[in-house]
Amino acid sequence: MLTEFILTLSNLATSLLTGITGLGGGMILLGLMPLFLPAAAIVPVHGVTQLAANASRAWFGRDALEWRYFRPFLVGSLAGIAVFGVAVHWVNLDWIPLFIGIYILLLQWAPRLIRLMQRLENFYVCGFIQTGLGLFVGAPGPLAIAMLNRRYDNKHMVVSVGALMMSVVHFAKLPVYLSLGFSFAEYGLLMAWMVAASIAGSWLGVRLRHRFPMPWLAKILPWLLTAIALKLIVTMLFF
């Protein structure tokens, strides 16, 4: 029960964080999950909870939804599922925590990678890459949010449209990991608690967004994610 309690509380906090700021929560949660779950369960369980968090965030912010950029993102995502959904069958899932740790470090401290991702000013490509990466590393980074921030001045629209896009990314994990033989029922109780926490966090985040913009998060988040990533890498390689 301790594992369920910690992950549920973590999910509530990270969903609230993302509901306010639009980014960061899913990746923090993903970095914490390998400390409590088997490697093969991390991405699918994370996918279910983040699907609930993002879908509920999009619903609670539906008045700010705008579909212009979502449609090409969806087309790219479907292509990403087709390509990467086959590739993931050739990966040893025991190495997923290591992939997650390395990916988080690259996102935070590899300026060339960041500049390359920022140049992908195409939502077809963005959907393809984010959905494909999500099958391997769970949280595919803030590429869509960064692109939306350059197109919308309205923060509520950025968060709501971004949540809808991420709902597609996380939904993609369900059929892919079912095809890999993952038993979602085995983690049913944990996912039920985490889904409830995700929805509660989204509901609170949407309502607190205008009161707590949290600009300081951008300075703290890279260091927090770095600490989590190093923990994952060290644990995988030396323990």
Taking each continuous run of H as one helix and of E as one strand, the counts in the chain are: 12, 0
Distance between CA 169 and CA 193 in Å, rounded? 21
pTM: 0.85
Distance between CA 88 and CA 175 in Å, rounded? 12
Q: Which residue is associated with the tokens 């892919």?
A: 176
Widest CA span in the chain: 49
Distance between CA 46 and CA 11 in Å, rounded? 10
Distance between CA 76 and CA 194 in Å, rounded? 28
pLDDT of residue 128: 94
How confident is the model over 135-164, as pLDDT tens digits?
Answer: 988 877 667 877 888 888 888 898 899 999
- Choose among 61, 10, 37: nearest CA to 167: 61
Give the pLDDT band of residue 133 (cuts 50, 70, 90): confident
For residue 53, the 8-state DSSP code is H
Q: Is 29 exposed, middle or buried (0-12, 13-18, 19+ CB in 10 A)?
A: buried
Output the average pLDDT for the chain.
87
204's tokens:
């609170």
Residue 109 to residues 32, 75, 105, 229, Cα–Cα distance (Å)? 20, 30, 6, 12
- Which residues constitute the domain of residue 85? 2-238
How confident is the model over 48-64, as pLDDT tens digits?
Answer: 988 988 898 899 889 98
Q: Where are the beta strands (DSSP E) in 86-221?
A: none
Task: Provide the number of structural domains found in the chain.
Answer: 1
How confident is the model over 12-25, as pLDDT tens digits?
Answer: 998 888 777 766 77
87, 199 in Cβ contact below 8 A?
A: no
Q: What is the DSSP string of 214-233?
A: -TTHHHHHHHHHHHHHHHHH
- Is 110's pLDDT higher than 90? no
How confident is the model over 205-219, as pLDDT tens digits?
Answer: 878 877 766 666 767
Q: Which residues neighbour 197 within 8 Å (Cβ) at sequence distance 6 or greater?
A: 8, 9, 11, 12, 15, 49
Distance between CA 98 and CA 239 in Å, rounded? 12
